[in-house]
Amino acid sequence: MAAHLSYGRVNLNILREAARKELREFLDKCAGSKAIVWDEYLTGPFGLIAQYSLLKEHEVEKMFTLKSGRLPAADVKNIIFFVRPRLELMDIIAENIISEDKMHSPRDFHILFVPRRSMLCEQRLKEQGVLASFINIEEYILDLIPYDGDLLSMEYESAFRECYLENDQTSLYHTAKGLMTLQALYGTIPQIYGKGECARHVANMMLRMKREFAGSQNQILPVFDTLLLLDRNVDLLTPLATQLTYEGLIDEVYGITNGYVKLPPEKFAQKKQGEASKDLPTEPKKLQLNSAEELYAEIRDKNFNAVGAALSKKAKIISAAFEERHNAKTVGEIKQFVSQLPHMQAARSSLANHTSIAELIKDITTSEAFFDNLTVEQEFMTGVETDKVNTYIEDSIAQKDPLIKILRLVSMQSVCNNGLKQKVFDYYRREILQTYGYEHILTLNNLEKAGLLKLQSNSRNNYPTIRKTLKLWMEDANEQNPNDISYVYSGYAPLSIRLTQVLARPGWRSIEEVLKMLPGPHFEERQQLPAGLHKKRQQGENRTTLVFFLGGVSYAEIAALRFLSQMEDSGMEYIIATTKLLNGTTWIKSLMDRPEAQTS
Amino acid sequence: YQVTASYREKSAVDEYNKAKNEFSAKATEDEMRLLRFQRKLDDEKGAGLLGLSLQATMEALLALGLHKQAEQLYRDFRVPDKRYWWLKLKSLAEKEEWEELEKF
């Protein structure tokens, strides 16, 4: 089961169970054997809610991927389409159904829209003449998906693009709805703070939705004390920087999707004992990464430079544990040793996996290219020569390095300089268009619109003030035994997390000036609790804050929040929610024009 | 095709000018110039350049040994020296034209 979801301060398994219950209820509505036709995008997120076994219990016998043409043969009574509400998918469904009818097979069709029904889609099905073929058309509201004991994500990839480029606030509605579901399960959150335009919208929607339900009062003792809503565009800098935590680097290098990472197989050639790998050796090795794995939970949030030491320490502990068998003399002792074996073997294979991953990543972090790139990033973050054309960027363009890398660096320079000088801006843009092609002019426009690139206005560069006030750069970051969140980027303390930290203590009033420099309003709202639900806090009991990143959050930021939760004197535990887990590369990609056409 | 394409780009330039987006207007004009150049060479030598970026065009020209034409683009489009020399060195080294390299 999903034990890793209930370890934390807040039992997120409750949310998962609620989602599973709803799924079961829908499946039981379609009596008899079933086949599910999947919108491929949904399989990842769904895997976190329900494994195949649950579906099987409810007579799901076959699963297909949604494709145009005819449906594969399946001897089942029901065909259920699990889809996002997208018009192009409706056309495929219509094609499936029309080619099906010709065969006169008496099957029942159903659609489950995730996360919302859409009138437009139903209209499209009607136009195609297939709407009447469906017995059930329902929605499955899956807004916040539990990823780990302290982490929720909507995996809404285009949220940032929609909010900041296209002025489409659909994702904010889903966010507000998701937060209402959360409050229904975990109690009304008494205090709401926020910074940014989108945060303001979400808070307004939540308060309005609450008024609409004014009749029924939520009688659950609140689990969360505070909700903090943060717009991604309040802190554009952090995701652009290369993450230096173990998990962050795995994501930067290989990409983590829906809690899984695919790795080159060479390093994992050895089969683990008692576990026959189904993959052919040529296929990438797929690993699940979450806190259910003891070792991973321990090292994921460390700075990568501290991972080696942690792994070798673990190796010593494990081999010492295996050595214990020589000391076992009596039958009772041997029995005890044997009973621990499965656990120890699991620990050993987990250690082997992470040693291999760490080796793979080390090859990259020790390369000259990585070092040069990082040096430039750190120069920008500390404000060194941010108003000149940077030689390293220039050389990288001349060598035709991946475009996204260039865009990440130029954006970073722009953000750290509060915009680029006209001459510098034009130079970079010309270089990019001449080298990578004129078509990228649209991508450059998008980045400009999102605020990642901009022309310096006459106003002063206020980044240095922000950096100093919030202590964004710490000269003596300790990577091995950190005493400050700046360890996650080896010196740079993420702006978003500093805001969170200051809010807890001493409060935002102390940084009014800086808050005004950052985009969007900052605000505070209170939600009245019914009498009797006011928590009586025990001495020394931590408070719980839900931090919601609108537009995405990086693994390094999550690591920084976990670090704050663990600090003894912080008195605050954090649960993290977001529209999307991202890194600089996936983020920039989501802003590019026709990203699927980009190969470089 | 040529007529409509250049017409469309012409109007793109107009629109960018109207929007006071000088950079994009200039970039679009440059692109039109490049496309005309590519079409001409494609017609003359069957070089297969149409649609390539400026850098990729120069790279292709150097690979084909059309040094003069590459040089022309480098000057016309005010390509920074560093990027052009880098490209030229790489191309010559790839073709192992060490004598040509010596002349630098």
CB of A259 within 8 A of CB of A300? no
Helix %, strand %, coil % of chain B (to 5): 75, 0, 25
Residue A268 token pair: 């994992």
> What domains are there in chain A, each with its CATH number?
3-142 (3.40.50.2060), 147-240+497-587 (3.40.50.1910), 369-417+419-459 (1.25.40.850)
CB of A299 within 8 A of CB of A283? no
pLDDT at A225: 94
Q: Which residues of B touch A (CB under 8 A)?
A: 23-24, 27-28, 30-31, 34, 52-56, 77, 79-80, 82-83, 86-87
Chain A residues with CB under 8 Å of B85 CB are none
8 Å CB contact of B83 and A441: no
CB of B55 within 8 A of CB of B63? no
Residue A41 pLDDT exceeds 60: yes
pLDDT digit string, tens, across residues A515-549:
999 999 999 999 988 877 776 666 667 899 999 99
Q: Which of A394, A400, A436 sits opposite B82 (nearest CB)?
A: A394
**Residue A101 pLDDT class (50, 70, 90 cuts):** low
Which helix H or strand E contains A195, and what residues bound it? strand A191-195
Residue A258 token pair: 């829906």
A298/B94: higher pLDDT: A298
Instruction: Please provide the average confidence, as pLDDT, over all residues in chain B.
Output: 84
Residue A117 pLDDT exceeds 50: yes
**Residue A568 pLDDT class (50, 70, 90 cuts):** confident
Q: How far apart are CA A591 and CA B6, in angstroms?
A: 28
pLDDT digit string, tens, across residues A252-301:
999 999 999 999 988 886 554 445 555 455 788 899 999 989 999 999 99
| Element counts in chain B: helices (H) and strands (E) | 6, 0
CB of A542 within 8 A of CB of A572? yes
8 Å CB contact of A394 and B55: no
Which helix H or strand E contains A522, and what residues bound it? strand A522-526
8 Å CB contact of A438 and B80: no
Q: Which of B23, B54, B82 sits opposite A398 (nearest CB)?
A: B82
**Residue A458 pLDDT class (50, 70, 90 cuts):** confident
Residue B104 pLDDT exceeds 80: no
Residue B18 pLDDT exceeds 80: no
CA A586 to each of CA A41, A238, A442, A568, A595: distance values in angstroms, whole numbers, following the listed order: 16, 14, 18, 34, 10
**Residue A600 pLDDT class (50, 70, 90 cuts):** very low
Q: Which of B24, B34, B86 sits opposite A441 (nearest CB)?
A: B24
pLDDT at B98: 72
The residue in chain B having the minimum alpha-carbon distance to the alpha carbon of residue A400 is: B55
CB of A461 within 8 A of CB of A428? no
Q: How far apart are CA A402 and CA A395, in angstroms?
A: 12
pLDDT at A103: 60
Helix %, strand %, coil % of chain A (to 5): 50, 15, 35
Written as one string, the DSSP assignment of A334-401 is: HHHHHHHHHHHHHHHHHHHHHHHHHHHHHHHHTSHHHHHHHHHHHHHHHTSSTTS--HHHHHHHHTT-
Percent of chain A with pLDDT over 70: 94
CB of A137 within 8 A of CB of A171? no
Instruction: Please provide the average confidence, as pLDDT, over all residues in chain A.
Output: 90
CA B64 to each of CA A293, B45, B91: distance values in angstroms, whole numbers, following the listed order: 56, 10, 10
pLDDT at A599: 42
Q: Which DSSP state fits A136?
A: E
Chain B residues with CB under 8 Å of A433 CB are 27, 30-31, 53-54
The residue in chain A having the minimum alpha-carbon distance to the alpha carbon of residue B59 is: A435
Residue A351 pLDDT exceeds 50: yes
Q: How far apart are CA A485 and CA A492, in angstroms?
A: 8
Main-chain dihedrals φ then ψ at residue A60, nearest 5 degrees: -85, 115
Q: Which of A253-267, B1-15, B51-65 has the lowest mean pLDDT?
A: B1-15
Short-list B89, B54, B86, B90, CA closest to B72: B54
**Residue A165 pLDDT class (50, 70, 90 cuts):** very high
- Cβ-count burial A125-140 (b if 16+ within 10 Å, e if not): beeeebbebbeebbeb
pLDDT at A272: 47
Chain B residues with CB under 8 Å of A445 CB are 24
Short-list A232, A590, A599, A553, CA closest to A443: A590
Residue A580 token pair: 């999307």
pLDDT at A598: 44
Residue B6 pLDDT exceeds 60: no
pLDDT at A571: 84
User: Bridge partners of A139?
Assistant: A113
pLDDT digit string, tens, across residues A210-258:
988 876 777 888 999 999 999 999 999 999 999 999 999 999 999 999 9
How far off is chain A from B26, nearest CA to CA, in Å? 10
The residue in chain A having the minimum alpha-carbon distance to the alpha carbon of residue B82 is: A398
CB of A419 within 8 A of CB of A454? yes
pLDDT at A213: 80
8 Å CB contact of B27 and A438: yes
User: Bridge partners of A79?
Assistant: A35, A109
8 Å CB contact of A437 and B82: no
pLDDT digit string, tens, across residues A123-161:
999 999 999 989 999 999 889 999 999 999 999 989 999
pLDDT digit string, tens, across residues A469-516:
999 999 988 999 999 999 999 999 999 999 999 999 899 999 999 999
8 Å CB contact of B87 and A398: yes
The residue in chain A having the minimum alpha-carbon distance to the alpha carbon of residue B84 is: A398
**Residue B8 pLDDT class (50, 70, 90 cuts):** low
Q: How far apart are CA A355 and CA A347, in angstroms?
A: 12
pLDDT (average), residues A569-598:
86
pLDDT at B45: 85
**Residue A428 pLDDT class (50, 70, 90 cuts):** very high
pLDDT at A528: 87
How far off is chain A from B36, nearest CA to CA, in Å? 14
Handedness of CA A235, A241, A243, A248 (dihedral sign): positive
8 Å CB contact of A441 and B54: no
pTM for the model = 0.91
How far off is chain B from A411, nearest CA to CA, in Å? 18
pLDDT (average), residues A358-365:
96
The residue in chain A having the minimum alpha-carbon distance to the alpha carbon of residue B50 is: A437
**Residue A597 pLDDT class (50, 70, 90 cuts):** very low
pLDDT at A270: 57
Short-list A79, A66, A81, A73, CA closest to A34: A79
pLDDT at B7: 61
pLDDT at A274: 46
Chain A residues with CB under 8 Å of B79 CB are 434
